[in-house]
Homo-oligomer: A and B are copies of this chain.
């Protein structure tokens, strides 16, 4: 996506960021969020305690960072879709795009972070914030596509909110089911339902 020839400076920056995120998730999973001190995380990532604060507002933000990157990608992919493609087809494609990169099943580090954030109350707020950011950006793109205005019309925000709700619910079901259907199928299904409206219960 963003490949303006990256300087050495920014390369190291990315590497440090990635190292911190990875260490944060790993340690939080291993020993629990409360017991994974920032000091431990920065030690594992090979940076100073103080540097962590330059990158993230807190432990939760670091853990949520991967999910944030993934979520923002959805809006970005939607923006890249041809303008004449039907809206909900484009949305479905975009919503599934994060899973296309994954080889077989989704990135285990990503799923681990999701489980963590949805189970630990101290992380839940940050998790919801990332979704809110992504939803906002999605609304912007939907507005562009449909000739509506976020500030004026309810439509783009309602679409973005329902889309994200569908993704969210589908993901949650996928995570909490013993032998779940492929997550792409669950997402597709949920999107079909919200697009069509929800007057009555329909089978999954």
Q: Which residue of B lies closest to A143 (CB)?
A: B201
Contact of A204 among B154, B165, B172 (CB under 8 A): B154
A182 at the interface (CB under 8 A from B): no
Residues of B within 8 A of A176 (CB): 151
Take A153-B201, A165-B165 as given contacts and tell me if A158 and B194 are in contact as well, using a CB distance cutoff of 8 Å: yes
Copies of this polypeptide in the complex: 2
Mostly, the A contact residues are helix
Of all A-B residue pairs in the complex, the 5 with the closest CB atoms, nearest first, are: A125-B125, A197-B197, A161-B165, A128-B128, A155-B201
State the CA gap A190–B157 with chains docked (Å). 10
A97 at the interface (CB under 8 A from B): no
Residues of B within 8 A of A87 (CB): 199-200
Cβ contact within 8 Å between B132 and A193: no
Residues of A in contact (CB 8 Å), total 44
The 0/1 profile, CB within 8 Å of B marked 1, for residues 183-204 of chain A is 0001001100111111111101
Take A125-B125, A126-B125, A129-B128 as given contacts and tell me if A201 and B162 are in contact as well, using a CB distance cutoff of 8 Å: no
Q: Which residue of B lies closest to A172 (CB)?
A: B157
A78 at the interface (CB under 8 A from B): no
Chain A contacts to B: CB under 8 angstroms: 87-88, 121, 124-126, 128-129, 132, 146-148, 151, 153-159, 161-162, 165-166, 168-170, 172-173, 176, 186, 189-190, 193-202, 204
Shortest distance from the beta carbon of A147 to any chain B beta carbon, whole Å:
7
Shortest distance from the beta carbon of A57 to any chain B beta carbon, whole Å:
8
Known: A124-B125, A194-B194, A194-B198. 10 other contacts (CB 8 A): A146-B201, A151-B176, A154-B169, A154-B173, A154-B186, A158-B165, A158-B198, A162-B194, A196-B197, A196-B199
State the CA gap A87–B146 with chains docked (Å). 30
